[in-house]
């Protein structure tokens, strides 16, 4: 259907969207019709602009007027521009070549389509065309909205939260949309913005400068000097003859070149320049702020102390041997990553690029909304964990850092580079990692220190590990969160998460293993996986929804999480609070797949036949188990090989030390069982049936496998039973 019609003195433009009714309906359900507005503006030459409503009626729009929105994310908009005869040529004027290639000019018509993907914000349609020898330019401005979140309210909250945690992380370039930025509306000048930023950075900056002065980066530098023969550490070929000639003259001096360490490096020159620049700026602004009526005496004293510290650092003898900074002739990894230097470089960059989020004439482009939502969810989870653990913000060990992503923008480091440790009294309580797996190459290297994927790369957005110090000493419980900027539909007044994302969490949990530092064995300790999505709904309705109730049933589910929705956010808070409060045994007893695991009827290709030595202390009727008359088998003290997944065990062949393999059971279900054993309080209970007797009993060496399950493939199991079959029982 045609949505907008623009009558211009040189052309008529028509903007269409075939599925607009469905898009509009989705946006109304998720955001509300009152929030789906856009400001329309255009350049000179326009005669009239009409918008078609849902009933097919035309409504004229005035320049600069706010009306119902037309453009939404992830929707395709065909555009037709029918030029008058006096127009010779025309082209689409986007900064993105891909968008320009979507348009072609033939027989007086410029036609193509736009799809904004996940970019939301302000945008413009730009068209350049020729009339005679004159090149004319047309601009039509509007807002691109989200069908899932309120752009006018939620987007700003997401940006503010990200910027308060990671300055400049929200920004991007070469996007289809932009946003207005300006100095603060209260009248703050850019210099005061500089001052406010440095107020939060000054302690870290001073600490970084001091650490560099104490342990600077050096480079070797050759100098010529004269030394006696007894001071030579090595004899250069160039003085061998001279040494022979004057061997009887101990006082003779020989000219040699020595390598000495020099502080005069490019990075130390930058440090000297940045420190001088910031000190001068600080002193200038300090005088102006002190002159403001009402400035407190303690605040003036703090400013004086900071200025004295900066001046004292500038006078440090270290800088006497450092030359003048002449700019960077190439990118420096030391400035970006070396301890101390990276903080100085970060502060200097922040002070050069200060801005505020108030609407203004300055245009800045942000990351797409899906990426922003993902980062925001990571920050929200980190704040929830921090508050629940009672850790002060200043005591959180941020080992995460931003890394350059292209020429102008930054991204949050992945894996170990985004790691946050939560400690109290130097005791580690939890850690949080953003996006730990993102390439095939990382399967061999562990990006979250001890998480590993033996098969294919898995990429949950957020990994939370809680350290338990109860009976399962130092045990780490791992929970996976995946932020999805998608909504599947609406059921009983509640937005629902995408079904494929829920299924993906099952794969994540089943594929990711844990490896201890002291062992190469793999352990299955990922407890659950949860989707975070921008859904809406009353809390009472969410609590009875299927995607929420499955969390308690199988530890897989979803939480609606959107800015300013405190009711549904509280569901996530209460859930994480319960995880922190439970002891490890209670968590394992409630977890899936160890508890309540029902196997599918289809047998996997890697189905395991487990030869299990029965522990007579926990299996009450061993005789009935060995004779195929039992419906329950309990695994003994040491369990199965930990590199094997319990979900793959389909058959169990029970034996006792000194006994033989008589047959095997089919496994139907597995769950956990507590027993009175301080070392091994949790056992695995198998529910079995369908006993199959072997034609001949088979021997099995038991010495080193006592009370342990030995896993074999079907082929290995029957080959063993054939090779070790006996005619007469011993």
Q: What integer is the mean pLDDT of 219-229?
A: 69
CA distances from residue 679 to 322, 442, 636 in whole angstroms, order as listed: 62, 35, 12
* Pairing state between β 649-655 and 608-613: parallel
In this predicted model, which residue has the larger pLDDT, 76 or 451? 76
Give the span between the Cα atoms of 123 and 40, in whole angstroms: 10
In this predicted model, which residue has the larger pLDDT, 664 or 366? 664
Burial zone of 312 (CB within 10 Å; 0-12 exposed, 13-18 middle, 19+ buried): exposed
pLDDT-wise least confident of 85-99, 369-383, 412-426, 579-593: 579-593
- pLDDT surpassing 80 at residue 35: yes
Give the span between the Cα atoms of 188 and 201, in whole angstroms: 19
Phi-psi region of 183 (alpha: psi -120 to 50; beta: other; left: phi over 0): beta
pLDDT in tens, 180-207: 765 444 444 446 557 767 877 889 999 9
- In this structure, are residues 340 and 209 in contact, taking their beta carbons and an 8 Å threshold? yes
Q: What integer is the mean pLDDT of 644-662?
A: 82
Give the span between the Cα atoms of 700 and 660, in whole angstroms: 6
Q: Tell me the pTM.
A: 0.62
Alpha-carbon dihedral 692, 698, 701, 705, rounded to 10 degrees: 0
- In this structure, are residues 124 and 53 in contact, taking their beta carbons and an 8 Å threshold? no
* Nearest partner of 171 among 374, 347, 353, judged by Cα: 353
With b for 16 or more beta-carbon neighbours within 10 A and e for fewer, the 189-219 pattern comes to: eeebbbbebbeebbeebbebbeebbeebbee
- In this structure, are residues 165 and 68 in contact, taking their beta carbons and an 8 Å threshold? no
Which residue's entry shows tokens 């001046």? 311
Give the pLDDT confidence score for residue 85 in this predicted structure.
93
Give the span between the Cα atoms of 587 and 239, in whole angstroms: 76
Q: What integer is the mean pLDDT of 49-74?
A: 90
pLDDT in tens, 259-297: 656 778 888 889 999 999 999 989 988 887 777 666 767
**Orientation of helix 190-214 relative to helix 297-314, angle to 10°:** 50
Give the span between the Cα atoms of 714 and 727, in whole angstroms: 22
pLDDT in tens, 579-633: 887 655 556 555 544 433 444 444 656 678 888 888 877 788 899 999 999 999 9
With b for 16 or more beta-carbon neighbours within 10 A and e for fewer, the 349-381 pattern comes to: ebbeebbbbeebeeebbbbbbbbbbbbbbbbbb
Could you tell me which residues come within 8 angstroms of residue 461 by beta carbon, excluding any fewer than 6 positions away?
A: 374, 377, 378, 434, 435, 481, 482, 483
Give the span between the Cα atoms of 542 and 611, in whole angstroms: 45
Give the span between the Cα atoms of 670 and 597, in whole angstroms: 6
Phi-psi region of 406 (alpha: psi -120 to 50; beta: other; left: phi over 0): left
- pLDDT surpassing 50 at residue 522: no
Give the pLDDT confidence score for residue 526 in this predicted structure.
65
* Pairing state between β 37-39 and 41-42: unpaired
* Pairing state between β 682-698 and 632-634: antiparallel
Longest dimension (CA), the chain: 112
* Nearest partner of 361 among 501, 516, 179, judged by Cα: 179
Q: How confident is the model at residue 462 (pLDDT cuts 50, 70, 90)?
A: confident
CA distances from residue 499 to 28, 494, 633 in whole angstroms, order as listed: 22, 14, 36
Give the span between the Cα atoms of 329 and 682, in whole angstroms: 62
Give the pLDDT confidence score for residue 57 in this predicted structure.
81
CA distances from residue 641 to 406, 571, 644, 677, 694 in whole angstroms, order as listed: 46, 38, 6, 20, 24
What residues are paired with 689 via a beta bridge?
Answer: 666
pLDDT in tens, 469-501: 554 455 677 888 999 999 998 999 999 999 888
CA distances from residue 699 to 532, 609, 725 in whole angstroms, order as listed: 53, 16, 6
Burial zone of 530 (CB within 10 Å; 0-12 exposed, 13-18 middle, 19+ buried): buried
Mean pLDDT rounded to a whole number for the chain: 80
Q: What integer is the mean pLDDT of 56-84?
A: 93
Give the pLDDT confidence score for residue 447 in this predicted structure.
43
Give the span between the Cα atoms of 195 and 199, in whole angstroms: 6
pLDDT in tens, 592-603: 444 334 444 446
- In this structure, are residues 96 and 176 in contact, taking their beta carbons and an 8 Å threshold? yes
* Nearest partner of 689 among 722, 666, 714, 671, judged by Cα: 666
Helix (H) or strand (E) holding 475: strand 475-483
**Cα 464 to chain centroid, rounded:** 12
In this predicted model, which residue has the larger pLDDT, 219 or 430? 430
């Amino acid at each position: 259907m045609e949505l907008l019609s623009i009558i211009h003195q040189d052309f008529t433009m028509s903007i269409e969207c075939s599925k607009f009714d469905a898009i509009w309906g989705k946006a109304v359900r998720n955001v509300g019709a009152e929030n789906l507005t856009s400001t329309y503006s255009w350049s000179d030459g326009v005669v009239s602009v009409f918008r078609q409503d849902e009933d097919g009626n035309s409504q004229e729009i005035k320049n600069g007027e706010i009306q119902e929105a037309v453009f939404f994310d992830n929707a395709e908009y065909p555009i037709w521009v029918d030029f008058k005869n006096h127009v010779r040529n025309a082209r689409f004027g986007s900064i993105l070549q891909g968008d320009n290639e979507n348009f072609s000019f033939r027989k007086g018509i410029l036609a193509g389509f736009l799809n904004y993907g996940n970019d939301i914000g302000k945008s413009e349609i730009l068209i350049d065309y020729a009339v005679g020898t004159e090149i004319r330019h047309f601009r039509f401005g509007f807002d691109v909205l989200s069908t899932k979140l309120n752009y006018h309210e939620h987007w700003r909250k997401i940006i503010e939260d990200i910027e308060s945690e990671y300055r400049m992380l929200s920004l991007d370039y070469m996007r289809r949309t932009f946003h207005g930025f300006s100095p603060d509306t209260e009248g703050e000048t850019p210099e005061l913005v500089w001052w406010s930023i440095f107020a939060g950075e000054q302690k870290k900056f001073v600490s970084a400068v001091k650490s560099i002065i104490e342990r600077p980066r050096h480079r070797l530098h050759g100098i010529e000097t004269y030394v006696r023969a007894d001071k030579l550490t090595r004899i250069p070929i160039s003085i061998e003859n001279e040494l022979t000639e004057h061997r009887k003259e101990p006082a003779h001096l020989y000219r040699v070149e020595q390598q000495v360490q020099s502080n005069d490096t490019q990075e130390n020159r930058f440090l000297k320049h940045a420190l001088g620049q910031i000190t001068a700026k600080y002193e200038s602004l300090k005088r102006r702020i002190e002159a403001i009526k009402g400035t407190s005496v303690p605040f003036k004293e703090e400013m004086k102390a900071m200025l004295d510290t900066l001046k004292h650092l500038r006078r440090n003898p270290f800088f006497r041997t450092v030359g003048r900074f002449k700019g960077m002739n190439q990118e420096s990894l030391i400035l970006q990553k070396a301890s101390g230097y990276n903080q100085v470089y970060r502060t200097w960059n922040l002070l050069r690029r200060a801005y505020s989020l108030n609407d203004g004439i300055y245009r800045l482009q942000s990351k797409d909304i899906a990426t922003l939502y993902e980062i925001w969810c990571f920050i929200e989870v980190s704040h929830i964990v921090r508050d629940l653990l009672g850790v002060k913000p200043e005591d959180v060990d941020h080992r995460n850092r931003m890394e350059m992503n292209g020429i102008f923008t930054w991204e949050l480091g992945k894996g170990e580079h985004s790691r946050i440790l939560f400690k109290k009294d130097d005791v580690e309580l939890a850690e949080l990692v953003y996006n730990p797996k993102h390439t095939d190459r990382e399967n061999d290297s562990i990006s979250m220190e001890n998480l590993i994927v033996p098969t294919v790369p898995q990429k949950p957005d957020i990994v939370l590990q809680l350290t338990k110090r109860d009976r399962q000493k130092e045990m780490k419980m791992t929970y996976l969160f995946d932020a999805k900027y998608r909504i599947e539909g609406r059921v009983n007044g509640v937005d629902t998460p995408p079904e494929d994302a829920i299924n993906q969490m099952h794969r994540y949990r089943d594929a990711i293993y844990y490896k201890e530092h002291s062992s190469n064995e793999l352990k299955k300790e990922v407890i659950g996986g949860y989707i975070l999505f921008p859904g809406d709904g009353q809390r009472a309705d969410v609590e009875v929804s299927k995607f929420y109730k499955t969390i308690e049933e199988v530890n897989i589910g979803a939480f609606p999480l959107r800015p300013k929705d405190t009711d549904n956010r509280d569901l996530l808070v209460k859930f994480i609070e319960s995880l922190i409060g439970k002891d490890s045994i209670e968590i394992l007893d409630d977890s899936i797949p160890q508890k309540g695991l029902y196997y599918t009827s289809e047998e996997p290709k890697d189905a395991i036949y487990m030869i299990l030595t029965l522990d007579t202390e926990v299996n009450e009727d061993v005789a009935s188990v060995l004779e195929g008359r039992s419906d329950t088998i309990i695994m003994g003290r040491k369990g199965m090989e930990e590199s094997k997944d319990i979900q793959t065990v389909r058959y169990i062949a029970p034996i006792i030390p000194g006994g033989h393999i008589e047959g095997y059971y089919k496994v139907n279900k597995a769950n956990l069982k507590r027993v009175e054993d301080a070392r091994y309080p949790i056992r695995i209970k198998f529910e079995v049936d369908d006993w199959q007797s072997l034609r001949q009993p088979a021997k099995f060496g038991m010495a080193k496998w006592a009370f342990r399950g030995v896993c074999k493939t079907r082929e290995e199991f029957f080959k063993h039973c054939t090779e070790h079959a006996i005619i007469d029982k011993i």
